[in-house]
Structure 1
Amino acid sequence: MKYQIFFLLLSLVVVSACAAPEQREITFPRATIQIGDIKREVQLADTPQLRERGLMFQQTADAGMLLLYPQPQLISLWMRNTDLALDVAFIDPLWRVIAIKPLHPLDETPVSVPTEALAALEMPRGWFQKHNIEVGEKLTLLP
Protein backbone atom coordinates (compact mmCIF):
# COMPACT_ATOMS: atom_id res chain seq x y z
CA MET A 1 0.00 0.00 0.00
CA LYS A 2 2.84 2.41 0.89
CA TYR A 3 4.45 1.78 -2.51
CA GLN A 4 1.20 2.51 -4.34
CA ILE A 5 0.82 5.84 -2.54
CA PHE A 6 4.49 6.67 -3.19
CA PHE A 7 4.15 5.95 -6.93
CA LEU A 8 0.89 7.87 -7.12
CA LEU A 9 2.52 10.92 -5.52
CA LEU A 10 5.59 10.57 -7.72
CA SER A 11 3.36 10.40 -10.82
CA LEU A 12 1.52 13.55 -9.74
CA VAL A 13 4.82 15.42 -9.28
CA VAL A 14 6.06 14.33 -12.72
CA VAL A 15 2.78 15.28 -14.43
CA SER A 16 2.72 18.66 -12.64
CA ALA A 17 6.29 19.41 -13.66
CA CYS A 18 5.54 18.60 -17.30
CA ALA A 19 2.34 20.64 -17.35
CA ALA A 20 3.73 23.81 -15.75
CA PRO A 21 5.44 26.20 -18.17
CA GLU A 22 8.84 27.66 -17.30
CA GLN A 23 8.03 30.49 -14.89
CA ARG A 24 11.22 31.04 -12.95
CA GLU A 25 11.78 34.65 -12.02
CA ILE A 26 14.05 36.62 -14.34
CA THR A 27 15.42 40.02 -13.45
CA PHE A 28 15.74 42.35 -16.41
CA PRO A 29 18.29 45.16 -16.51
CA ARG A 30 16.84 48.66 -16.76
CA ALA A 31 17.37 51.34 -19.38
CA THR A 32 16.28 54.95 -19.45
CA ILE A 33 14.63 56.10 -22.67
CA GLN A 34 13.17 59.30 -23.94
CA ILE A 35 10.39 59.27 -26.49
CA GLY A 36 8.60 62.50 -27.26
CA ASP A 37 8.53 64.51 -24.03
CA ILE A 38 8.46 61.38 -21.90
CA LYS A 39 11.56 60.16 -20.08
CA ARG A 40 11.21 56.85 -18.27
CA GLU A 41 12.95 53.73 -17.11
CA VAL A 42 11.97 50.48 -18.86
CA GLN A 43 12.99 46.85 -18.65
CA LEU A 44 15.70 46.03 -21.19
CA ALA A 45 15.76 42.78 -23.15
CA ASP A 46 19.06 42.95 -25.03
CA THR A 47 20.12 39.29 -25.20
CA PRO A 48 18.47 36.42 -27.08
CA GLN A 49 17.35 34.83 -23.78
CA LEU A 50 15.84 38.05 -22.43
CA ARG A 51 14.12 38.90 -25.74
CA GLU A 52 12.68 35.37 -25.92
CA ARG A 53 11.26 35.70 -22.41
CA GLY A 54 9.98 39.27 -22.84
CA LEU A 55 6.94 40.03 -20.72
CA MET A 56 5.91 36.36 -20.41
CA PHE A 57 4.39 35.51 -17.04
CA GLN A 58 4.60 39.11 -15.78
CA GLN A 59 1.51 40.41 -14.01
CA THR A 60 1.84 43.98 -15.28
CA ALA A 61 3.43 45.84 -18.17
CA ASP A 62 3.52 49.17 -16.36
CA ALA A 63 7.33 49.35 -16.55
CA GLY A 64 7.34 48.62 -20.28
CA MET A 65 10.06 46.72 -22.09
CA LEU A 66 12.57 47.64 -24.79
CA LEU A 67 13.58 44.66 -26.90
CA LEU A 68 16.90 45.70 -28.39
CA TYR A 69 18.63 43.77 -31.18
CA PRO A 70 22.35 43.86 -32.06
CA GLN A 71 21.62 44.89 -35.65
CA PRO A 72 18.55 45.84 -37.71
CA GLN A 73 16.44 42.84 -38.69
CA LEU A 74 12.89 41.74 -39.40
CA ILE A 75 11.26 41.48 -35.99
CA SER A 76 8.22 39.35 -35.29
CA LEU A 77 6.55 39.26 -31.87
CA TRP A 78 3.82 37.13 -30.31
CA MET A 79 2.09 36.92 -26.96
CA ARG A 80 2.70 33.35 -25.80
CA ASN A 81 2.23 33.15 -22.02
CA THR A 82 1.59 36.90 -21.88
CA ASP A 83 -1.84 37.73 -20.48
CA LEU A 84 -1.52 41.50 -20.93
CA ALA A 85 -2.96 43.92 -23.48
CA LEU A 86 0.00 45.74 -25.03
CA ASP A 87 0.94 48.11 -27.79
CA VAL A 88 4.33 47.81 -29.47
CA ALA A 89 6.29 50.52 -31.26
CA PHE A 90 8.78 49.19 -33.79
CA ILE A 91 11.95 51.32 -33.89
CA ASP A 92 14.09 51.68 -37.05
CA PRO A 93 17.92 51.92 -37.20
CA LEU A 94 17.66 55.74 -36.96
CA TRP A 95 15.72 55.28 -33.68
CA ARG A 96 12.39 56.49 -35.14
CA VAL A 97 9.04 54.84 -34.53
CA ILE A 98 8.05 53.15 -37.81
CA ALA A 99 4.83 51.48 -36.61
CA ILE A 100 2.67 51.08 -33.52
CA LYS A 101 0.61 47.90 -33.34
CA PRO A 102 -1.63 46.24 -30.74
CA LEU A 103 -0.63 42.94 -29.14
CA HIS A 104 -3.53 40.87 -27.80
CA PRO A 105 -3.28 38.73 -24.65
CA LEU A 106 -2.13 35.14 -25.28
CA ASP A 107 -2.37 35.60 -29.08
CA GLU A 108 0.36 33.58 -30.82
CA THR A 109 -0.22 35.24 -34.20
CA PRO A 110 3.07 36.91 -35.21
CA VAL A 111 3.01 40.72 -35.33
CA SER A 112 5.68 42.41 -37.43
CA VAL A 113 6.47 45.18 -39.87
CA PRO A 114 7.73 44.65 -43.44
CA THR A 115 11.01 46.49 -42.87
CA GLU A 116 14.01 45.96 -40.61
CA ALA A 117 13.88 47.33 -37.09
CA LEU A 118 16.49 47.73 -34.39
CA ALA A 119 14.15 47.60 -31.41
CA ALA A 120 10.58 47.18 -30.22
CA LEU A 121 9.10 49.07 -27.29
CA GLU A 122 6.24 47.23 -25.56
CA MET A 123 3.97 49.32 -23.35
CA PRO A 124 0.52 48.83 -21.77
CA ARG A 125 -2.38 49.16 -24.23
CA GLY A 126 -3.13 52.81 -24.95
CA TRP A 127 0.15 54.18 -23.55
CA PHE A 128 1.39 55.58 -26.89
CA GLN A 129 -1.97 57.21 -27.61
CA LYS A 130 -2.21 58.66 -24.10
CA HIS A 131 1.22 60.29 -24.52
CA ASN A 132 0.63 61.39 -28.13
CA ILE A 133 3.47 59.19 -29.43
CA GLU A 134 3.05 58.62 -33.17
CA VAL A 135 4.94 57.14 -36.10
CA GLY A 136 8.01 59.26 -36.83
CA GLU A 137 8.68 60.06 -33.15
CA LYS A 138 12.32 59.70 -32.10
CA LEU A 139 13.36 57.36 -29.30
CA THR A 140 16.60 58.02 -27.45
CA LEU A 141 18.40 55.51 -25.25
CA LEU A 142 19.88 57.62 -22.44
CA PRO A 143 23.11 56.80 -20.57
Structure 2
Amino acid sequence: MRVTPALLVAFLVVCSGCMGLGINSDGSVQSPDQSGDQSATAGTATQETTNVEENVSAAFVTNGERTNVTLEVANSPDERSQGLMHRESLPENHGMVFVFDEAQPQTFWMKNTLLPLDIIFISADGTVINVEQADPQPNASDLELKQYSSDEPAKYVVEMRQGFANRKGIESGTKFVFDGERPTTEN
Protein backbone atom coordinates (compact mmCIF):
# COMPACT_ATOMS: atom_id res chain seq x y z
CA MET A 1 0.00 0.00 0.00
CA ARG A 2 1.32 3.44 -0.88
CA VAL A 3 1.02 6.00 1.90
CA THR A 4 0.01 9.45 0.69
CA PRO A 5 1.03 12.57 2.62
CA ALA A 6 -2.60 13.20 3.58
CA LEU A 7 -2.98 9.66 4.92
CA LEU A 8 0.27 9.99 6.87
CA VAL A 9 -0.83 13.30 8.45
CA ALA A 10 -4.22 11.79 9.39
CA PHE A 11 -2.47 8.80 10.95
CA LEU A 12 -0.08 11.03 12.91
CA VAL A 13 -2.95 13.12 14.21
CA VAL A 14 -4.78 10.00 15.43
CA CYS A 15 -1.65 8.48 17.02
CA SER A 16 -0.51 11.69 18.63
CA GLY A 17 -3.96 12.26 20.06
CA CYS A 18 -3.82 8.78 21.56
CA MET A 19 -0.62 9.63 23.35
CA GLY A 20 -1.75 13.04 24.56
CA LEU A 21 0.35 14.88 22.01
CA GLY A 22 -0.75 17.42 19.43
CA ILE A 23 0.36 18.19 15.91
CA ASN A 24 1.46 21.69 14.95
CA SER A 25 0.37 23.15 11.62
CA ASP A 26 3.83 22.37 10.23
CA GLY A 27 3.42 18.67 11.10
CA SER A 28 5.73 18.68 14.13
CA VAL A 29 4.62 17.14 17.43
CA GLN A 30 3.57 19.51 20.21
CA SER A 31 4.58 19.01 23.81
CA PRO A 32 1.93 17.47 26.07
CA ASP A 33 -0.51 19.92 27.56
CA GLN A 34 -3.55 19.92 29.79
CA SER A 35 -5.96 19.81 26.86
CA GLY A 36 -4.63 16.41 25.74
CA ASP A 37 -5.49 14.66 29.00
CA GLN A 38 -8.08 12.01 28.28
CA SER A 39 -6.90 9.64 30.98
CA ALA A 40 -8.90 8.09 33.76
CA THR A 41 -8.91 9.66 37.20
CA ALA A 42 -6.64 8.47 39.99
CA GLY A 43 -9.64 6.86 41.68
CA THR A 44 -9.64 4.09 39.07
CA ALA A 45 -6.17 2.80 39.95
CA THR A 46 -7.32 -0.75 40.57
CA GLN A 47 -9.40 -1.23 37.44
CA GLU A 48 -8.10 -3.04 34.39
CA THR A 49 -6.52 -0.45 32.18
CA THR A 50 -7.14 -1.81 28.73
CA ASN A 51 -9.58 -3.97 26.87
CA VAL A 52 -6.63 -6.10 25.82
CA GLU A 53 -7.72 -9.69 25.45
CA GLU A 54 -4.78 -10.72 23.31
CA ASN A 55 -1.43 -11.79 24.70
CA VAL A 56 1.52 -12.82 22.59
CA SER A 57 4.71 -14.66 23.35
CA ALA A 58 7.92 -13.10 22.16
CA ALA A 59 11.62 -13.11 22.98
CA PHE A 60 14.62 -10.84 23.10
CA VAL A 61 17.68 -12.63 21.69
CA THR A 62 21.03 -11.56 23.13
CA ASN A 63 24.22 -13.44 22.22
CA GLY A 64 22.12 -16.40 21.07
CA GLU A 65 20.20 -16.61 24.36
CA ARG A 66 16.44 -16.05 24.44
CA THR A 67 14.61 -14.11 27.13
CA ASN A 68 10.98 -15.11 26.72
CA VAL A 69 8.28 -12.57 27.53
CA THR A 70 4.49 -12.49 27.59
CA LEU A 71 3.07 -9.27 26.22
CA GLU A 72 -0.38 -7.76 26.24
CA VAL A 73 -1.06 -6.32 22.80
CA ALA A 74 -2.05 -2.66 22.48
CA ASN A 75 -2.92 -2.39 18.80
CA SER A 76 -5.89 -0.06 18.70
CA PRO A 77 -5.88 3.69 19.35
CA ASP A 78 -7.75 3.27 22.66
CA GLU A 79 -5.44 0.51 23.89
CA ARG A 80 -2.31 2.45 22.92
CA SER A 81 -3.68 5.56 24.65
CA GLN A 82 -4.38 3.66 27.89
CA GLY A 83 -1.24 1.51 27.92
CA LEU A 84 -0.12 0.52 31.41
CA MET A 85 -1.74 3.48 33.18
CA HIS A 86 -2.81 2.89 36.79
CA ARG A 87 -1.20 -0.56 37.01
CA GLU A 88 0.23 -1.29 40.43
CA SER A 89 2.23 -4.37 39.42
CA LEU A 90 3.44 -6.47 36.50
CA PRO A 91 4.44 -10.13 36.73
CA GLU A 92 8.05 -10.98 35.95
CA ASN A 93 8.79 -11.09 32.20
CA HIS A 94 5.34 -9.67 31.48
CA GLY A 95 4.67 -6.36 29.75
CA MET A 96 2.91 -4.67 26.87
CA VAL A 97 3.72 -4.30 23.19
CA PHE A 98 2.40 -1.24 21.37
CA VAL A 99 1.87 -2.03 17.68
CA PHE A 100 1.80 0.69 15.04
CA ASP A 101 0.83 0.51 11.33
CA GLU A 102 4.21 1.71 10.17
CA ALA A 103 7.60 2.49 11.64
CA GLN A 104 7.78 6.15 12.60
CA PRO A 105 9.32 8.25 15.38
CA GLN A 106 7.56 7.36 18.65
CA THR A 107 7.31 9.42 21.85
CA PHE A 108 5.92 8.13 25.14
CA TRP A 109 5.36 9.71 28.55
CA MET A 110 4.41 8.39 31.98
CA LYS A 111 1.10 10.15 32.63
CA ASN A 112 -0.89 8.19 35.24
CA THR A 113 1.68 5.39 35.11
CA LEU A 114 2.54 4.15 38.59
CA LEU A 115 5.35 1.70 37.78
CA PRO A 116 8.88 2.57 36.69
CA LEU A 117 9.28 1.08 33.21
CA ASP A 118 11.81 0.22 30.56
CA ILE A 119 10.51 1.55 27.25
CA ILE A 120 12.07 -0.50 24.46
CA PHE A 121 11.78 0.96 20.95
CA ILE A 122 11.94 -1.65 18.17
CA SER A 123 12.26 -1.27 14.39
CA ALA A 124 10.03 -3.01 11.84
CA ASP A 125 12.71 -5.69 11.32
CA GLY A 126 12.77 -6.55 15.05
CA THR A 127 15.97 -4.75 16.05
CA VAL A 128 16.01 -2.84 19.33
CA ILE A 129 16.64 0.83 18.53
CA ASN A 130 17.04 2.20 22.04
CA VAL A 131 15.93 1.60 25.61
CA GLU A 132 14.72 4.36 27.92
CA GLN A 133 14.28 4.02 31.67
CA ALA A 134 11.11 5.88 32.58
CA ASP A 135 10.18 6.90 36.11
CA PRO A 136 6.68 7.75 37.34
CA GLN A 137 5.96 11.45 37.83
CA PRO A 138 2.87 11.30 40.06
CA ASN A 139 2.45 15.01 40.72
CA ALA A 140 3.79 16.44 37.47
CA SER A 141 1.62 18.63 35.29
CA ASP A 142 1.36 17.68 31.64
CA LEU A 143 3.93 20.33 30.76
CA GLU A 144 6.40 18.87 33.29
CA LEU A 145 6.13 15.27 32.08
CA LYS A 146 9.36 13.91 30.63
CA GLN A 147 9.09 12.51 27.12
CA TYR A 148 10.84 9.32 25.99
CA SER A 149 11.50 9.01 22.25
CA SER A 150 12.80 6.51 19.75
CA ASP A 151 16.17 7.35 18.21
CA GLU A 152 14.85 6.10 14.83
CA PRO A 153 11.43 5.09 13.45
CA ALA A 154 9.87 2.31 15.54
CA LYS A 155 7.04 -0.07 14.63
CA TYR A 156 6.85 -1.70 18.07
CA VAL A 157 7.36 -0.37 21.56
CA VAL A 158 7.64 -2.79 24.47
CA GLU A 159 7.15 -1.70 28.08
CA MET A 160 8.54 -3.89 30.86
CA ARG A 161 9.29 -3.32 34.55
CA GLN A 162 12.28 -1.00 34.90
CA GLY A 163 15.58 -2.86 35.16
CA PHE A 164 14.47 -5.71 32.88
CA ALA A 165 16.66 -4.54 29.98
CA ASN A 166 19.75 -4.12 32.15
CA ARG A 167 19.32 -7.52 33.82
CA LYS A 168 18.86 -9.29 30.48
CA GLY A 169 21.48 -7.34 28.48
CA ILE A 170 18.92 -5.82 26.12
CA GLU A 171 20.32 -2.81 24.29
CA SER A 172 20.51 -1.23 20.86
CA GLY A 173 21.01 -4.00 18.29
CA THR A 174 19.33 -6.78 20.32
CA LYS A 175 16.90 -8.84 18.23
CA PHE A 176 13.22 -9.09 19.16
CA VAL A 177 11.08 -11.92 17.74
CA PHE A 178 7.45 -12.89 18.08
CA ASP A 179 6.61 -16.55 18.59
CA GLY A 180 4.04 -17.11 15.87
CA GLU A 181 2.27 -14.34 13.96
CA ARG A 182 3.19 -10.73 14.54
CA PRO A 183 0.27 -8.74 15.91
CA THR A 184 -1.23 -6.14 13.59
CA THR A 185 -3.08 -2.91 14.26
CA GLU A 186 -6.82 -2.48 14.64
CA ASN A 187 -8.70 0.68 13.80
Same fold per TM (> 0.5)? yes
Correspondences of 1:1-143 after superposition (within 5 Å)? 21=41, 23=44, 25=48, 26-28=50-52, 29-36=54-61, 37-62=66-91, 63-106=94-137, 108-143=145-180
% identical equivalent positions = 26
C-alpha distance in 2 between matches for 1:53 and 1:64: 14
SS at match of 2:41: coil
Between Structure 1 and Structure 2, the one with more strand by share is 1
Deviation at 1:61, TM superposition (A): 3.0
Deviation at 1:83, TM superposition (A): 1.1
Question: Greater CA radius of gyration, 1 or 2?
Answer: 1
Deviations 1:30-73 (A, max 9, x none): 11111111122111111111111000011113321111111111
What RMSD, in angstroms, separates the aligned Cα atoms of the two structures? 1.7
Deviation at 1:114, TM superposition (A): 3.7
Deviations 1:82-124 (A, max 9, x none): 0111111100121100101111113622110242110111111
| Structure-1-length-normalised TM-score | 0.79
Structure 2 gap segments, 5+ residues each? 1-39, 181-187
| Distance verdict in 2 for CA 1:48–1:103, change over 3 Å | same
Quick check: 1:55–1:61 contact (8 Å CA) kept in 2? no
Quick check: 1:92–1:98 contact (8 Å CA) kept in 2? yes
SS at match of 2:78: helix
Letter of the 1:120 counterpart: V
Quick check: 1:90–1:120 contact (8 Å CA) kept in 2? yes
C-alpha distance in 1 between matches for 2:147 and 2:171: 22
C-alpha distance in 2 between matches for 1:134 and 1:54: 22
C-alpha distance in 2 between matches for 1:119 and 1:84: 20
C-alpha distance in 2 between matches for 1:72 and 1:113: 10
Structure 1 gap segments, 5+ residues each? 1-19
